[in-house]
Amino acid sequence: MKKILIGLASIVVIIVVVLYFTSKPKLEADGSYSPSSLALTLGTVSKTDFEDITYTKYQGDKSKILVIFTEQKNLKMKNGKFFSTGNHPIEALVPMLHLKNAGFDFEIVTPTGKPVVFEMWAFPQEDENVKAIYNEYKSSFEHPKKLADFINTSLNDANSYAAVFIPGGHGAMIGIPNDKNVGKVLNWAHQSDLFTITLCHGPGSLLATTLDNQKFIYEGYKMCVFPDAIDEITPMIGYLPGKMTHGVSEHLKSLGVKLANSEADDSVYRDRKLITGASPLASNELGKLAANTLLKELK
């Protein structure tokens, strides 16, 4: 019996040691932290669940979709450490695949025209469809347009656009919700009866419509958002290097948003012209919902 107990204790010690080292966030060259090996094992995939659907392609004039990406990489935590983030590649590229297959094209912008930042540690390296669309738009990701230039040249051209798409990833919380130009574009889309598509942490961008004491235009809407409760526990496995300084879902809820999900799952929801998804797991479902909705509504 004693030998059995000693053996069990040894196994427990080994498990604790392994968890300790595999759950430590990885220090990057710029001093930020990317997810631990344990978090990457649990929270990323090498191939997505993308469904290569043959849509009846859209043939009308409203064929463009404005995609607002973050150009920011490092998100500060409560403990002062920085999370190495950006846009989640699956959350951006899988919906884009569906929308492209449905006949839509993309205008890629960042707030100041700096290159798009992706969470490359989450890139699905064995997914040929995702790699193909990434390579197709790589030049646009590296040399996007400035959001201000879009505002100066295209706000009078709503008839050429079907939607505004803001992908998620924690990077969508850096600057985007506080960017007055993002607020202008979202108000433009809302007033022009265009669709707005976003998922995971991307709905935090909707807060930009409250800047300068403006009324929140999505008050009373029901939407899917990444739950703050999940962000609270991910530091335990080393996904985040600390706790967030603020969340998204509860802030939106305090402004009158009705949450359509409680888990970080594949939930998607449409309320009027707003289409949202809960997490990276919702990327494929969001793409299908967005593509089918646009094809139906833009006939």
Residue pair 203/247 in contact (Cβ under 8 Å)? The answer is no
Q: What is the pLDDT of residues 34-48, one digit of tens each?
A: 999 999 999 999 999
Burial degree of 218 (CB within 10 A; 0-12, 13-18, 19+) = buried
Catalytic residue among 166, 200, 206, 275: 200
**Tell me, what's the pLDDT at 155?**
85
Instruction: Give residue 215's identity as a one-letter amino acid code.
Output: K
DSSP state of 95: H
Residue pair 238/24 in contact (Cβ under 8 Å)? The answer is yes
Task: Read off the pLDDT of each residue in 113-128 and give the average, rounded to a whole number.
Answer: 98
**Tell me, what's the pLDDT at 19?**
42
**Tell me, what's the pLDDT at 84?**
97
> What residue ranges define each of the domains in the chain, with the CATH number in brackets?
62-297 (3.40.50.880)
Q: Count Cβ neighbours within 10 Å for each residue of 8-32 and write b for 16 or more, e otherwise.
A: eeeeeeeeeeeeeeebebbeeeeeb
Is 200 an annotated catalytic residue?
yes
Q: What is the pLDDT of residues 125-164, one digit of tens each?
A: 999 999 999 999 999 999 999 999 999 998 888 899 999 9
Phi, psi of 167 (to 5 degrees): -65, 165
**Tell me, what's the pLDDT at 1?**
53
Q: Please determine, for residue 17, whether its predicted confidence score (pLDDT) is greater than 70.
A: no
* Structure-block tokens of residue 60: 């009308």
Q: What is the pLDDT of residues 60-79, one digit of tens each?
A: 999 999 999 999 999 999 99
Task: Read off the pLDDT of each residue in 250-263 and give the average, rounded to a whole number.
Answer: 96
Task: Read off the pLDDT of each residue in 271-282 and give the average, rounded to a whole number.
Answer: 98
**Tell me, what's the pLDDT at 16?**
35
Residue owning tokens 């962000």: 231
Closest CA to 149 of 181, 126, 172: 181
* Cα(196)–Cα(270) distance, integer angstroms: 10
Q: Please determine, for residue 287, whether its predicted confidence score (pLDDT) is greater than 70.
A: yes
> Which is it for the CA torsion 224, 229, 232, 236, positive or negative?
negative
Averaged pLDDT score across all residues of the chain: 93
Q: What is the pLDDT of residues 221-245, one digit of tens each?
A: 999 999 999 999 999 999 999 999 9
**Tell me, what's the pLDDT at 274?**
98
Q: What is the pLDDT of residues 152-199, one digit of tens each?
A: 998 888 899 999 999 999 999 999 999 999 999 999 999 999 999 999
Task: Confirm whether pTM is higher than 0.95.
Answer: no
**Tell me, what's the pLDDT at 109?**
98
Task: Read off the pLDDT of each residue in 240-251 and give the average, rounded to a whole number.
Answer: 95
